Amino acid sequence: MWIIIRLLIGIVVLLIVEYYFIRHVNLAIKLFSPTFYEKRFHLVRKIFLVWMNLYPLALIFIFTYFAITGSYLSAPENKIIDYLLIYPFWTFFVLIIQCCLFFIPLDLIKIFSHLFIKKTRVHLLKIRSTLLFLIIGFFIFYIPIRIIYDYNSVSVRKIEYQKENLPRQLENFKVVFISDIQADHYTDERRLTSYLNKVNSLNPDLILIAGDLITTGPNYIELSAQEVGKLKSKYGIYSCVGDHDNWAYRNDYARSLSEVKSALNYHGVQMIDNDIKKVNVDSAEIAITIITNTYVETIAENILDSLSLNNNGSFKIFLTHQPQEFLIGAAQKNEFDLFLAGHTHGGQITFVFPFIQLTPTMFETSYIRGDFWFDRMLMIINRGLGMSLAPLRYNSTPEITLITLKNK
């Protein structure tokens, strides 16, 4: 029942934002094309509002059915539904929010001008309407282009990590770090293959994955494991447990994780749950503390302390899914060299705005993407490949991180 209530609240908020957006579009169209506004815009507006809200109505039906029957009604995976319903909704959603972020400052300027500048109101109204038109016009073109670019592109971010007295055997050692592959209907075999081929092209010595090999549903476990199993690394491929690895079967977390682990292991990839993996490079040793801390399972403090304290490698790596503060503190306290995490998708949907990254992810963590230094420990947050909730990325290009070790 709480799911339905939250969904209804979300839809009410969405309708308010839609009204705010349409009101400003009215002003822009009215100024630049009065004839179109009078004759056709009312019809266009009605079609837009109906089309925009079909998907939320479908969600209400699905969750109401779940509340009544206890059975989860899965939406059919169909390209026609994607292109006629789901993609348009999320693209329009991004457009509306993005434009409204710029409308708000203009409205504040309008209020200020009405209070203090009375003689030039008509002139200011024309300037405001022109700016509204330019904002809407720009984002109508930019947003679809950016979404398509982020869906089809992969960024390779190269980092040189310098450490004093690094064993000579680890000089130029290459660690490739990826996360959140999330195989599903949208991250299909073609997209996975393209991403993972680029990983192999970097000739890594070691590959680390920050969990989330699937999004949901058991149908994609084998696909993900099979594709990840094609990765090539001299010293192995290791993954921690991610949130979504527990959700292949919504009501059976243990079965979900067991099947994900088994499939990966069959294809030569180890998903490790709260343990230390030691990689011997001649006489040098890279020790990887791999921690499970997800929405489903929180690591006990004594286990975290033990695993962090007992890592005595020549080079120490802390691998986990979520970049939680208490995990960062434990790694920093025990002088790890690298802290690797994913989970955030780099924001996944990150709105354009001056001087700040605006993304829903900022309400969960301030560590959204990029590099963060804690004394001598470098924390790297990988943007991953997959998508959650919305089947798109906006200003968050999928990422592969190549870390090359150097003696300082």
Predicted pLDDT at 234: 95
Cα angle 388, 352, 124; round to 5: 140
Predicted pLDDT at 106: 87
pLDDT interval class at 8 (50, 70, 90): confident
Structure-token pair, residue 161: 């990590």
Structure-token pair, residue 42: 């009312």
**H or E stretch including 199?**
helix 189-200
pLDDT interval class at 118 (50, 70, 90): low
The phi, psi pair for 239, rounded to 5°, reads: -135, 150
pLDDT, the chain, mean: 90
Q: HSE (CB half, 13 Å, CA atoms) of 266?
A: 13
Structure-token pair, residue 107: 């409205």
pLDDT tens-digit profile of 275-295?
999 999 999 999 999 999 999
* Residues 342, 381: Cα–Cα separation, whole Å: 5
Q: Radius of gyration over alpha carbons of the chain, in Å? A: 24
pLDDT interval class at 155 (50, 70, 90): very high
* Residues 316, 287: Cα–Cα separation, whole Å: 5
Q: How many Cβ atoms sit within 10 Å of the Cβ of residue 157?
A: 17
pLDDT interval class at 157 (50, 70, 90): very high
Give buried/exposed letters for 368-405 (b at 16+ CB in 10 A, else e): bbeeeeeeebbbbbbbbbbbbebbbbbbbbbbbbbbbb
* Residues 260, 220: Cα–Cα separation, whole Å: 10
Predicted pLDDT at 23: 86
* Residues 336, 310: Cα–Cα separation, whole Å: 11
* Residues 308, 292: Cα–Cα separation, whole Å: 13
Over residues 354-365, mean pLDDT = 89
87-116 vs 2-32: helix axis angle to the nearest 10?
A: 60
Q: HSE (CB half, 13 Å, CA atoms) of 22?
A: 17
* Nearby residues of 232 by Cβ (< 8 Å), 6 or more positions away: 200, 204
Give the predicted TM-score (pTM) of the model: 0.91
Of 54, 386, 94, nearest to 224 (Cα)?
Answer: 386
Length of the chain equals: 408
Structure-token pair, residue 96: 């509306």
Structure-token pair, residue 110: 């309008």
CATH numbers and ranges of domains, the chain: 2-151 (no CATH), 155-407 (3.60.21.10)
Q: Give the pairing type, strands 270-271 and 237-239.
A: parallel
Q: Give the pairing type, strands 315-319 and 284-290.
A: parallel
Residue with the larger pLDDT of the pair 213 and 45:
213
